[in-house]
Amino acid sequence: MVKQIIKGYILWIWYYLYRPYRNKQKAEAQRRIEICEKCEHFESTRTCALCGCFMDIKTKMPLDLDEEGFSIDGCYDRRW
């Protein structure tokens, strides 16, 4: 748990100090939300009917990838 907190702070600092990383994260978040907006589980409240998460927030989170390249704890339907 402590390692995750430290990692989160480091990524947050890196996000604001290093512009290429920030641009990459913004592009990935945009790609994810576009996938969500086309999904049949995406609701008008901008939440997911499968997991109940607010997708404008969840798509911006830096999530680790599994061996197949999908985000761990990301899309429950494994779309991103």
The token duo for 24 is 């990459």
Q: Helices 2-17 and 19-38, interaxial angle, to 10°?
A: 110
List the domain boundaries for the chain. Answer: 2-58
Q: Are 66 and 72 in contact (CB under 8 A)?
A: yes
pLDDT single digits (tens) 13-23:
888 888 888 89
Cβ neighbours around 79 below 10 Å, total: 14
**By three-state DSSP, how is residue 29 classified?**
helix
pLDDT at 46: 96
Prediction pTM value: 0.74
pLDDT single digits (tens) 11-55:
888 888 888 888 988 999 999 999 999 999 999 999 999 999 999
The helix (run of H) or strand (run of E) holding residue 16 is helix 2-17
